[in-house]
Amino acid sequence: MKGWLGRIGGGGIAAILAVALAAGAIGYRLHGTAGDEAAPAASADPLAALEQRAEADAGNAGAWQELGFAYFELGRFADAAAAYDKAARADPDSAVLWSSLGEARVMASERDPMPSAALEAFREAAALDPKDPRARYFLAVQKDLSGDHQGAIAAWLALLADTPAGAPWEADLRRTIEQVGKINGTPVDKRIAAALEQRPEAPAARAAGFPGPTQEQIAAASALRPAEQQDMAEEMVTRLATRLEREPNDVDGWIMLMRSYRTLGRDADATHALRTAIAANPASRGKLEAAASTLGVP
């Protein structure tokens, strides 16, 4: 998630995949981050292609990163951790790969909410890039788990202050602060408001509320063959739509869904998503309609 100024050009399937890479998940088990149900069997061929590519070029960090992400999306967290481990070993100076490895190790752990191997990966990421959002988030989780609830809240608030508006992890981050504050009897509303006032202006790529992937992520997604891109993009869009049925208050998620439908040429679905989003979030009607206008949603 490095490189806030990464731009999506005119669209394309690779852009959907890159956005999904960028959106890959800051999530705390306190509010339920167990993976969705496994994706349908349509992913078998694209996944096999990713596996073959990684095995054929074992020193290619990008190939292992793509495979790790695919496994993570399918809820195969142990496999994701193994793939990210190989990616990080191939490119040990990448904070993103180390923090991705840490998250996969957390999700693969059935009992320990912060395995030592995951903590080691997050610390490696933070040493390489102290601003890495995923590493900062989970290092704060470790503070909370160790009993330093105030330190955790302070660290999350600092991350929120550095988070551009519309970042994919913003909603989860705010929920975590609110929930940990409530559990520990710590008022956080005013502190959240203060953090939001400090955060940086959104770059042009985010002006309409669209999460922007990095150039590296776009290149990784573009490495897939067109048929593979189509299959994986369709799966990811389906998963996003399913999640929004459960979490209809995620306004930025609806904007991402509209954008994805437009990229896939599913204009009727984009229009339906807009109407559903407005019905669920009437207070955000202006933002949703402005985004729809920018995207050309009919």
Query: Measured between alpha carbons, how far is 217 from 222 in angstroms, rounded to an integer?
Result: 9
Taking the CB of residue 238, how many other CB atoms lie within 10 A of it? 14
Contact 159, 133 (CB under 8 A): yes
Percent of the chain's residues with pLDDT above 70 = 73
Kindly tell me if the per-residue pLDDT of 208 is higher than 60. no
The whole-number pLDDT of residue 15 equals 39
Please give the residue that has the higher pLDDT: either 164 or 125: 125
Please give the residue that has the higher pLDDT: either 130 or 27: 130
pLDDT digits (tens, 9 = 90+) for 20-43: 433 343 444 443 333 333 333 333
Number of structural domains in the chain: 2
The whole-number pLDDT of residue 270 equals 87
The whole-number pLDDT of residue 156 equals 95
The whole-number pLDDT of residue 63 equals 87
Last residue of a domain, one of 157, 179, 210: 210
Kindly tell me if the per-residue pLDDT of 211 is higher than 50. no
Last residue of a domain, one of 157, 183, 210: 210
Q: Which amino acid is at 281?
A: N
Please give the residue that has the higher pLDDT: either 48 or 88: 88
Query: Measured between alpha carbons, how far is 97 from 91 in angstroms, rounded to an integer?
Result: 8
**265 and 240, same structural domain?**
yes
Structure tokens that stand for 140 in this block: 């704060």
Establish if 16 belongs to a structural domain: no
**290 and 233, same structural domain?**
yes
Establish if 200 belongs to a structural domain: yes
Establish if 246 belongs to a structural domain: yes
Question: Binning pLDDT at 50, 70 and 90, where does residue 226 land?
Answer: low
Establish if 189 belongs to a structural domain: yes
Kindly tell me if the per-residue pLDDT of 206 is higher than 70. no
Kindly tell me if the per-residue pLDDT of 16 is higher than 60. no
Q: Give the C-alpha distances (Å, rounded to integers) separating 242 from 37, 100, 253, 288.
A: 10, 24, 11, 19
Contact 15, 267 (CB under 8 A): no
Q: Give the C-alpha distances (Å, rounded to integers) separating 176 from 3, 30, 138, 275.
A: 24, 8, 11, 28
Location of structure tokens 């059935």 = 110
- Give me the domain span that covers residue 253: 227-295
- Rounded to 10 deg, the angle between the 215-222 and 13-22 helix axes is 130
Please give the residue that has the higher pLDDT: either 66 or 108: 108
The arithmetic mean of pLDDT across residues 40-58, rounded, is 73
The whole-number pLDDT of residue 153 equals 95
Q: Which amino acid is at 11?
A: G
**154 and 201, same structural domain?**
yes
The pTM (predicted TM-score) of the whole model is 0.59
**Residues near 240 by beta carbon (within 8 Å), at least 6 away in sequence:** 253, 256, 257, 260
**189 and 152, same structural domain?**
yes
The whole-number pLDDT of residue 222 equals 46
The arithmetic mean of pLDDT across residues 83-91, rounded, is 95
Closest to 65 measured CA to CA, from 41, 94, 97, 42: 97
Location of structure tokens 């790529």 = 205
Q: Which amino acid is at 38?
A: A
